Amino acid sequence: MRESVRVMIPEAEVDAMIEEMGQKISRDYEGQELRLICVLKGGVFFACELAKRITIPVSLDFMSVSSYGAGTQSSGVVKIIKDLDDSIEGKNVLVVEDIVDSGRTLNYLLDNLRSRRPKSLALCTMLDKPSRRVVPVKVEYTGFEIPDEFVVGYGLDYAQKYRNLPYIGVIEFSE
Ligand code: IMP
Ligand code: MG
């Protein structure tokens, strides 16, 4: 089997979306400070680009979670691999994710973060596959809604590969 990647969203379109989202976030939180929580590893490319385009004071923290599940399905049973370095109590928190799929992982993560009593808690995601949703998740900022296809690039992986592609692509297999 040979793998190849077809471009779904070119780099320039992703970058333009992030620029626009950064401006909107800067307006929405004007006069305040924002703690960006990047969900590793997939969210890291998007979070860095987004942070560069936000003009209000921003601090960054990172969290890594793994979702137990069979194959490509996440189960909603989530293990924290790396927790935040700092408390978020009383802070404006924006979670930065690569993609919302079933919503199970984020549903757990948002509940967990809410229990730490932030001043506000919101979610932004580069991609959303709404047709796959099993658990409802409130998303404040969505980059692109995409159909139910397995995507890679801009942080997203297939077996840990392709995260470094500067665009969003779909894997195709051929003999
Ligand atoms: P959820 O709990 O089903 O919403 O799982 C979301 C996580 O699954 C994302 O953070 C990704 O790590 C992974 N994921 C879901 N869809 C894709 C995809 O199309 N490509 C790569 N990873 C994906
Ligand atoms: Mg992820």
Question: Residue 30 Cα, ligand 2 centroid: separation in angstroms?
Answer: 28
Ligand 1 neighbourhood includes 128 CB (under 6 angstroms) = no
Residue pLDDT, tens place only, 27-52: 999 999 999 999 999 999 999 999 99
Residue pLDDT, tens place only, 76-126: 678 899 999 999 999 999 999 999 999 999 999 999 999 999 999 999 999
At how many degrees (to 10) do helices 44-52 and 11-28 cross? 60
Structure pTM?
0.94
Terminal Cα distance for the chain, rounded: 5
Domains of the chain: 2-174 (3.40.50.2020)
Which residue, judged by its Cα, is nearest atom 8 of ligand 1?
Answer: 101
Ligand 1 neighbourhood includes 103 CB (under 6 angstroms) = yes
> Taking a C-beta distance cutoff of 8 angstroms, is the pair 93, 35 a contact?
yes
